[in-house]
Structure 1
Amino acid sequence: MSSIERLSDKDHVYRFNMIKGRIAETLAEELFLSLGFNVFRYGMENTIPGVMELLKGVKSEVANEIKRMPDFVIQNPTTKEVYFIEVKFRASGTFSRKDLPNDYPFYNALILIISKKHIKCISYPELEEGHAITPTSKNYLGNRKEFENLNSKVIIDFCGFAVKFFENI
């Protein structure tokens, strides 16, 4: 691509969404690190560098499983419990079961939704039961039993970061 060529509309949307996702993932990673968790990048872009470009448009069982890998594995330093974390940015602040692939394989994943105003969390089993994250739901990260005794001030700070990064989206 020469310096005067522009991205196609499809490529533009793909790149823009990828950047939003990476910002949301970075916020989540730094949030958990600030809360004292052990954080390990796990998703496809970290496990198999360069694979995202390779798999763009590929529709196979292996490609689908790679694309569905959760973004992080985190460990609570106090309880030593380990969790899969899938991070999603949603400008609308909504997320439900229909937002994941029908055959999503990580039943034990926690889905962290970063929006323009909140950081909320829901488990995959809760989504399967019909629960969802909405702008008015109380699925706040600090309300999760898995994350009891988190420093709510740190979470509030990171919600402020999300507002600053995403306010114009």
Structure 2
Amino acid sequence: MPDCIDCGEYTKFNNGLCTECYNKKNGNPWVSGVIKGRIAETIIEQLFMSLDFQVFKYGMENSIPGITDLLKGVRGDVVKNIRQMPDFVVFKHKQAHFIEVKYRKSGKLSKTDIEKYGKYPFENALFVLVTPKHIKCISYSELKAGKEITEKCRNWLGKRKEFETDSELIIDYCKYATKFFENVD
């Protein structure tokens, strides 16, 4: 049976750390991911507000406060749909859009990433990917058709016809993303 190299407690890996020792040394990776995601959401929220969109927080954390803890260990279609609620609804010129914000250091986003909890229920959602270098966007229908965001693709948010956005302003917000994420794992 493998033992933690720090405390001697059980671990899954030979010459590895138990969960408690790993978290002491590296911080809890789940918490780190939540923080990175919230920073990315804030950058995108402020970006859309700067572009004169009305921005409404929509995700489960905002629409149903306190439900996150209640859903732990609960399964079913309703729970999946709640967990997959897009982060925002943005509105301008009598057009509304669901926006799901993702942060990926790798600069990659595919249908597999989105459907890890099952079929994605928001068919008309747009995914805004924040990376340490870029802000890109892809629709769920494009993901379903086999397209994906890669580090080298040119799915710039500023080129989306849905938004007719100000590319220079988006570049400014890319600089904020770079500033916040340049030294983040």
User: Same fold per TM (> 0.5)?
Assistant: yes
Code of the residue aligned with 1:84 in structure 2: it is F
- The aligned runs of 1:14-163 (5 Å cut-off) are 14-76=30-92, 79-101=93-115, 102-148=118-164, 150-163=165-178
Higher relative contact order (Cα pairs below 8 Å, separated by 6+ residues): 1
What are structure 1's unaligned runs of at least 5 residues? 1-6
SS at match of 2:162: helix
How far apart in 1 are the matches of 2:75 and 2:40?
A: 26
What's the TM-score, normalizing by structure 1?
0.89
Percent identical among aligned pairs is: 53
Between 1:11-20 and 1:120-129, the stretch displaced more is 11-20
Match of 1:167 in 2: 182
Task: Find the residue that maps to 1:112 and give its secondary structure.
Answer: strand
Deviation at 1:155, TM superposition (A): 0.4
> TM-score w.r.t. structure 2 length?
0.82
Moved >4 Å (runs of 4+): 7-11
Alignment partners' CA distance in 2, 1:168 and 1:54: 34
Instruction: Name which one, 1 or 2, has greater alpha-carbon Rg.
Output: 2
Take 2:30 and 2:128, find their aligned partners in 1: how far apart are those partners? 21
Match of 1:4 in 2: none
What one-letter code is carried by the residue in structure 2 that aligns with 1:64?
Answer: K
Deviations for 1:31-55, whole angstroms, at most 9, x for unmatched residues? 0001100000000000011222222
Shift in Å at residue 14 of structure 1? 1.4
